[in-house]
Amino acid sequence: MIKEFTEKYNWLSNFFPCWITLNGVTFQSVEHAYQSEKSSDLDWKKKCQEILSPGKIKRDAKKLEINRKEWDKKKLKIMEICIDQKFSKEPFRTKLLETGEEEIQEGNNWNDEFWGVNLKTGKGSNHLGKLIMKKRDRLNNKIF
C-alpha cells in the first residue's frame, strides 16, 4: 500500500509540478488548477497562474468567500478532470501504471479526511487516492 505522497511517491501529490489546463487557462499543478475553480473572478484565476507555491494558493483559497453547497457539488468532478490530465501525461502515466494493484492512500497529518486519510486516526474517505486508482484502472482498460 502507498500510504502517503512523500519521498518516492511525491509525484502523486497535487502540489507536484505538472501543467494542467482548465477552461483554456494553464496552471502549474493540479492544486493551482483545482483552487482556481473556487472563484470565477479573473483576478483570482490570474493569481492562481502566477503564484509559484501551491501551498500559498491553497491557503489563499481558504480566504475566498464561496458558496460551500455549490462547491461541494462540483469539487469531485473538477479534481477528477485534473487527475485525468495529470496522469495522461508522461512520466506520470508510466509511474502510475508501475504501481500495479497497490492501494493508493493520500495519508496526511493535516486532518483531511475528505481527500485523504488522517494518519493520526486512520479515518478518511480517501477521495483523492480513489480518483487516482480509478484513473489507473482506466489506463489499464479495466473501466471506461
pLDDT recorded at residue 143: 63
Q: How far apart are CA 144 and CA 137, in angstroms?
A: 8
Q: Evaluate if residue 87 carries a pLDDT over 60.
A: yes
Query: How far, CA to CA in Å, does 4 sit from each of 20, 116, 123?
Result: 22, 9, 14
Looking at CATH, the fold of the domain delimited by 7-139 is given as Tetracycline Repressor; domain 2 (1.10.357)
Helix/strand/coil for 8: helix
In Å, the largest CA–CA distance within the chain is: 42
Tell whether the model's pLDDT for residue 4 goes beyond 70.
yes
Q: Mean pLDDT over residues 92-121, rounded?
A: 96
Do 103 and 2 contact (CB within 8 A), yes or no? yes
pLDDT at 115: 97
10 Å Cβ neighbour count for 28? 19
pTM: 0.93
For the cut 80, the answer to whether the pLDDT of residue 85 exceeds it is: yes
**Where in the chain are the domains?**
7-139
Residue 144's pLDDT is: 53
Does pLDDT of 9 surpass 70?
A: yes
